[in-house]
Amino acid sequence: MPNRYVNYFIGNIKTRPYVLLGFAGFLMGIRSFIPSRASSLDINMHDMYFVVANVSLYRFFAIILLFLWSVYLAANRLILSRRLTLFHVLFTLTPLIFFLIMQNHTWGMDGVSRRYYAVDAFEAQKPLLNFAGVFITVMLSLFIGQVIFIVNLAWGVIKSFRQRQVVKKL
Most confident of 6-20, 33-47, 149-163: 149-163
Do 61 and 99 contact (CB within 8 A), yes or no?
A: yes
Q: Mapping DSSP to helix (H, G, I), strand (E, B) and coil, where does residue 105 land?
A: coil
The pLDDT score that the predictor gives to residue 138 is: 86
Residue-wise pLDDT for 148-170, tens only, equals 999 999 999 898 888 887 777 76
DSSP state of 121: G
Q: Give me the mean pLDDT over the 120-131 stretch.
A: 61
Q: Mapping DSSP to helix (H, G, I), strand (E, B) and coil, where does residue 42 land?
A: strand
Q: Return d(Cα 79, Cα 5) in angstroms, integer.
A: 26
Domain holding 6, by residue range, is: 2-169
As beta bridge partners, residue 45 has 48
The pLDDT score that the predictor gives to residue 112 is: 52
Q: How many CB atoms lie within 10 A of CB 69?
A: 20
User: What's the pTM value of the predicted model, to 2 decimals?
Assistant: 0.74
Provide the domain count of the chain: 1
Is residue 65 very low, low, confident or very high in pLDDT (cuts 50, 70, 90)? very high
Q: Return d(Cα 100, Cα 103) in angstroms, integer.
A: 5
Do 75 and 153 contact (CB within 8 A), yes or no?
A: yes
Radius of gyration of the chain (CA): 21
Q: Give me the mean pLDDT over the 6-19 stretch.
A: 72
Q: Return d(Cα 55, Cα 39) in angstroms, integer.
A: 8
